[in-house]
Structure 1
């Protein structure tokens, strides 16, 4: 069970948010969705550049589009930090989209 910090501000998210990760973790995310791992929440961003910058930086980077409003409408909680970063407990794989990666053809 995820413990939610009472200082977090719950809010409905925008239609889409973004999540950056290394290319090596892409398959896992497509199978399992996004899970917080060692952190207490999944961190999402309002633009792809911020998501890419926040990813771990190991190897080739990919950025998922997260259908955040759809997840919220299905009951997924979201919180927004003062710096504009969005948090959630997890993202189901059916709320993820991975655009084609250039050079992977």
Structure 2
């Protein structure tokens, strides 16, 4: 059983493998859903000397305990739910709640007000149903700013939304007219 620190480290390595540079490690993901066999992921992880002791159970533990729920295991397959930067993963369009949230930082706000929400090197804009995930995402790079996205207005503007699971929604770029800043949680 991995301790918390080892889980976090393994999660970061799995993120690299399943979201960003799979081919660099000889891992080939299904072009439809971005998944691979759990045993293939384990073999790639075990090939790295630091991770030669990792078991399938360790991967399952890391997936289950991941605070951001970045991964999903379905049967014998594993995938990143969202955040891919390597190839476009297909998601089914869905109807989101009327408001979704996006966490960002103060320095990014002027560009968002001007240009809207952009994928910024990823395939989609990441949004969440609640403030928890938005806060986690937005507090990584500076003073937290939470944004509310009016999804009804966004759909009317031509934005398509995709459900990635576990309260996470993905979207094409969201126009500025559909976005409103919220006060920070400590100010509410």
TM range (shorter): 0.7 to 0.9
| Partner-residue secondary structure (3-state), 2:147 | strand
**Given the superposition, is the C-alpha separation of residues 72 and 36 from structure 1 closer, same or farther in structure 2, using an over 3 Å criterion?**
same
Cα distance in 2 between the residues matched to 1:61 and 1:90? 21
The structure that is helix-richer by fraction is 2
Match of 1:15 in 2: 98
1:27-84 per-position Cα deviation (integer Å, ceiling 9, x unaligned): 1100110000111100000112220112251221100000012211332111001222
Count, aligned residues: 100
Equivalent runs, 1:33-52 vs 2, <5 Å: 33-52=116-135
Q: Flag structure 2 segments of 5+ consecutive residues without an equivalent.
A: 1-86
Highest CA radius of gyration, 1 or 2?
Answer: 2
Match of 1:76 in 2: 159
TM-score (norm 2): 0.49
| Partner-residue secondary structure (3-state), 2:165 | coil
Q: Flag structure 1 segments of 5+ consecutive residues without an equivalent.
A: none
TM-score (norm 1): 0.84
Greater relative CO (CA pairs within 8 A, separation 6+): 1
